[in-house]
Structure 1
Amino acid sequence: MTHGWIILAKLMVAVVTAMVTAVIFSLLAVLWFPLDQAATPYIIAQNAAFTATALVFWRRWEKRSLREMGFSPTRIAPSAGDGSMLGLFLIGGTFLWLWLTPWLSVQEMNWSPAIWNRLGLSAVTFFCVAVGEEIFNRGYIQGLLLKRTGPVVAIAGSSFVFALLHMQNPFIAPLPLLNLLLAGILLGCARYVSGNLWYPIGLHLTWNWTQEALSLPVSGLHLSPLHPVTAAETGPDWITGGPFGLEGGLAGTLAILIGIGWILKGHRSQRT
Structure 2
Amino acid sequence: MEAQPFTTKQKIFNFPLIKIILALIVTMALVIIGQQVIGKLLGLTSLDRNYRNLIKGIFVSALAITGYILFFKYYEKRKVTELATNNLAKNLIVGILIGVILQSLTILVIYINGGFNIVAVNPVSFIIIPLTVAFTAAILEEILIRGILFRVLEEKLGSYNALIISAIIFGALHLANPSATLVSALCVAIEAGILLGAAFMYSRNLWFPIAIHFAWNFMQSGVFGAITSGNEKTESLLVTKTVGSVWITGGEFGPEGSFQAIIFCSIASVILLFLCQKGNKIVKPYWKNK
Shorter-chain-normalised TM-score: which range?
A: 0.7 to 0.9
Q: Name structure 2 gaps, 5 residues minimum.
A: 1-7, 281-290
Q: Which residue of 1 aligns with 2:113?
A: 101
Q: Which residue of 1 aligns with 2:157?
A: 149
Query: Deviations for 1:179-224, whole angstroms, at most 9, x for unmatched residues?
Result: 2222111101000012212211111111001101101112223563
Q: Which residue of 2 aligns with 1:220?
A: 230
Q: Which residue of 2 aligns with 1:60?
A: 74
Distance 1:250 1:29, change over 3 A: farther
With the length of structure 1 as denominator, give the TM-score of the two structures.
0.80
Amino acid at match of 1:55: I
- Supply the distance in 2 between the matched residues of 1:168 and 1:5 (Cα, whole angstroms): 31
Alpha carbons 1:48, 1:132 under 8 Å: kept = no
Segment of structure 1 superposing worse, 72-81 or 162-171: 162-171
- Supply the distance in 2 between the matched residues of 1:188 and 1:252 (Cα, whole angstroms): 17
Q: CA deviation at 1:178?
A: 1.0
Query: Deviations for 1:6-64, whole angstroms, at most 9, x for unmatched residues?
Result: 21233234345555555544544553459xx6794676676566545433431232223
Aligned partner (choices 197, 201, 211) of residue 188 of structure 1: 197
Aligned partner (choices 78, 81, 97) of residue 90 of structure 2: 78
- Supply the distance in 2 between the matched residues of 1:72 and 1:232 (Cα, whole angstroms): 41
Aligned residues: percent identity?
25
Q: Which residue of 2 aligns with 1:243?
A: 252
- Supply the distance in 2 between the matched residues of 1:71 and 1:17 (Cα, whole angstroms): 17
Alpha carbons 2:149, 2:166 under 8 Å: kept = yes
With the length of structure 2 as denominator, give the TM-score of the two structures.
0.76
- Supply the distance in 2 between the matched residues of 1:48 and 1:217 (Cα, whole angstroms): 27
Q: Which residue of 1 aligns with 2:286?
A: none
- Supply the distance in 1 between the matched residues of 2:21 and 2:15 (Cα, whole angstroms): 10
Q: Secondary structure at the match of 2:117?
A: strand
RMSD, matched Cα: 3.2
Q: Name structure 1 gaps, 5 residues minimum.
A: none
Alpha carbons 1:83, 1:199 under 8 Å: kept = yes
Distance 1:11 1:97, change over 3 A: same
Alpha carbons 2:126, 2:237 under 8 Å: kept = no
Amino acid at match of 1:107: I
Question: Is the radius of gyration larger for structure 1 or structure 2?
Answer: 2
Q: Which residue of 1 aligns with 2:284?
A: none
Q: CA deviation at 1:140?
A: 2.3
Distance 1:261 1:33, change over 3 A: farther
